[in-house]
Structure 1
Amino acid sequence: MPLDALGPLRTRLRLTFAGQSESVPAWETALEEGDDAGFFAPDSAVWAVHSSMSPIAGGIRALLTQALHPGVLAGVADHSDYRTDPLARLAGTIRWIFTVTYGDTTAARRACAYVRRRHEPVEGDYVSGSGKHLHYSANDPALAEWVHIAFTDAFLRTYEALHGPVPGGADAYVGGWALAGELMGVADPPRTEAALQSRIEAFDAARQLAGGPRVAEVVAFLRRPPLDPLLKPGYAMLFGAVLETMPQRHLDLLGLSRPRLGPMPLPATPAAKATLAVVGRALGPIGPSQAAARRRLARLGAL
């Protein structure tokens, strides 16, 4: 497909992910600044995963998985404007991910501190998966842990499904991104793939996860978000591929099932790979955040 033909798609993608379609956001160019190489090197597993196109699908999976914890879900439902302004929330999340991944250590710490300050007033009550009435606070280490492990697992599994093995191995990604969990207040985040899986299963075994009407509302929104019409077909392909990566137990709680055509499974991953290939061609091989980080590293002689 000629690059010029991808202009309309490029415009809509930039507007969706960055909140503006023409110029690069100032926070991305600011990643060129700083006095150190940051927490993650260009040859790290974290750079490999986050610089690919799979985080687009990983974000969907992370939100679905995070919604299974009633405390996390209550914080989003009670204190977030995701229904009325979902793109602003998406842009904020992308900014945090890329700043921690590509920024210097000061910028990364500042980004995490900012999110934690925003979380301070986010508190309330919820009913746990075991039926207990509990109080939640967004900065509670247990809730922060579920958010972190759901994110890590989602980005790891979607990369593996849509790209292949993680360079350096899955443990390299889980162990590397554990630093982000620590910066967000998670006590002793998992550092291996096996430990990550064990933590996820432990939440379910302790009856901390649940489905229900509130989860169904989030699922309905994520299945058909208010995207630009040009992006909806590709999103549907990614959503289907995400379901193929999820454990059956989580799908049951979400009220979802893997894509099927009648009694036969309908493989969605090949279509999702094709979708991400087009997105990657439209956006270019190196995003503005990574390019800014590389300029900083070159200035510091760290490349």
Structure 2
Amino acid sequence: MTSLLNPTSVAALGEQVAAVRGAIASALDTRIGGPDARKRWDDMLAAPGERLIAEDSPVRVVHGDIAMLVGGLRAILFQSLQPRAMAGVAQHSNYRTDPWGRLQRTADFLGAVTFAPIEQALQSIEVVRSVHLRVHGTTSRGEPYSASEPHLLRWVHIAEIDSFLASHRVYGATKLTPAEEDRYVADVAVVAERLGADRVPTSMSELRAALREFSPEMRSSKEAREATRYLAFPPGLSAAERVGYGPIFTGAASLLSVRNRIMLRLPVFPVTERLVVRPVTSVALSLGRWSRPT
């Protein structure tokens, strides 16, 4: 009997699979990083000059890994549980009409402060500081907020770095040692301090203490749940984008605590997450790793 999987058909199948993987990876790259993300990234890395973050820092390992896609989504979900921080997003952000804009701006900012020459990094920080000055108001409960408030800047920072590290532990290509995680927290503190945050943690123990300190402030809100729905089902995705994005969002949500997921009305299935969600998310992220030049 002649095998259906002859060398020619196997090669053709391989080309089709590669084309599908490339389409998914390219779609996600464009959606999250923007149409010229690759060129901007290459230009930034090639630019000469001193960097804000040392070249041997674990910050560059974490922020340069595709697992940041999961970490970034997890950070946005986590940050939404501080009602005053979420009010600033709900009242001043255009995420309802441009749900990808926030991810793109965050990716650009993190890329600049981590990998760009120090002049560009500091300029990016000043741009964010100037934007923060315009973001202020009151929550639906009448609580005042300001994006320039050191306390809220501290929350945004610790929620981000906790999310980035949580994602890297599970999905990162290379794992950090406890000492490297401590250094990550210490090295990235300079960014939060320059943005105006106070009492910025510089070790994992300080990060855990800061998260415990903020725990009583966290609660569910209509704005947080609405933002979660937009993140779970963002409008306008192509078929290729949906294939790649779905597992990445699910993987991000699975890294939140049970308490946090209940607040956001996200499902909790511990066994399914371990046996299904994490492997599928790893495959989705591998599309991005596979597509990137070495």
Q: What TM-score do you get using the length of structure 1 for normalisation? A: 0.83
Distance 1:181 1:161, change over 3 A: same
Superposed CA offset, 1:90-114 (max 9, x none): 2211110000000122211110110
Distance 1:19 1:46, change over 3 A: same
1:1-303 to 2 correspondences below 5 Å: 6-20=21-35, 24-25=39-40, 29-30=43-44, 32-36=46-50, 38-126=51-139, 133-163=142-172, 165-166=175-176, 168-205=179-216, 208-226=217-235, 227-259=237-269, 266-285=275-294
Contact 1:100 1:180 in 2 (8 A): yes
Q: Give identity over the alignment, percent.
A: 28
Contact 2:251 2:278 in 1 (8 A): yes
Q: CA deviation at 1:228?
A: 2.7
Separation in structure 1 between the aligned mates of residue 210 and residue 109 of structure 2, nearest angstrom? 24
Larger helix share, 1 or 2 = 2
Superposed CA offset, 1:5-53 (max 9, x none): 544234323321232158723x7625543532x1223331101101111
Separation in structure 2 between the aligned mates of residue 16 and residue 268 of structure 1, nearest angstrom? 22
- What are the ranges of 5 or more consecutive residues in structure 1 without an aligned counterpart? 286-303
Contact 2:81 2:219 in 1 (8 A): yes
Distance 1:257 1:197, change over 3 A: farther
Distance 1:150 1:24, change over 3 A: same
Q: CA deviation at 1:134?
A: 1.9
Contact 2:25 2:244 in 1 (8 A): no
Superposed CA offset, 1:242-297 (max 9, x none): 233222221122122334689x9753111111111111112333xxxxxxxxxxxx
Secondary structure in 2 aligned to 1:267? helix
Q: If you compute each CA radius of gyration, which structure gives the higher value, 1 or 2? A: 2
Distance 1:159 1:261, change over 3 A: closer
Separation in structure 1 between the aligned mates of residue 22 and residue 258 of structure 2, nearest angstrom? 39
Separation in structure 2 between the aligned mates of residue 18 and residue 165 of structure 1, nearest angstrom? 24
Q: Counterpart in 1 of 2:3?
A: none
Q: Between Structure 1 and Structure 2, how many residues are aligned?
A: 276
Distance 1:23 1:273, change over 3 A: closer
Separation in structure 1 between the aligned mates of residue 269 and residue 36 of structure 2, nearest angstrom? 33
Contact 2:66 2:289 in 1 (8 A): yes
Residue identity matched to 1:257: P
Contact 1:219 1:254 in 2 (8 A): yes
Q: CA deviation at 1:165?
A: 3.0
Q: Counterpart in 1 of 2:6?
A: none
Distance 1:28 1:182, change over 3 A: farther
Contact 1:240 1:258 in 2 (8 A): no
Contact 2:22 2:287 in 1 (8 A): no
Contact 1:67 1:215 in 2 (8 A): yes
Separation in structure 1 between the aligned mates of residue 203 and residue 78 of structure 2, nearest angstrom? 19
Structure 1 residues 231-240 or 58-67, which shifts more? 231-240
- What are the ranges of 5 or more consecutive residues in structure 2 without an aligned counterpart? 1-13
Superposed CA offset, 1:109-167 (max 9, x none): 1101101111211110015xxx6x32111111111111101000000000001136325
Residue identity matched to 2:81: L
Separation in structure 2 between the aligned mates of residue 239 and residue 187 of structure 1, nearest angstrom? 31
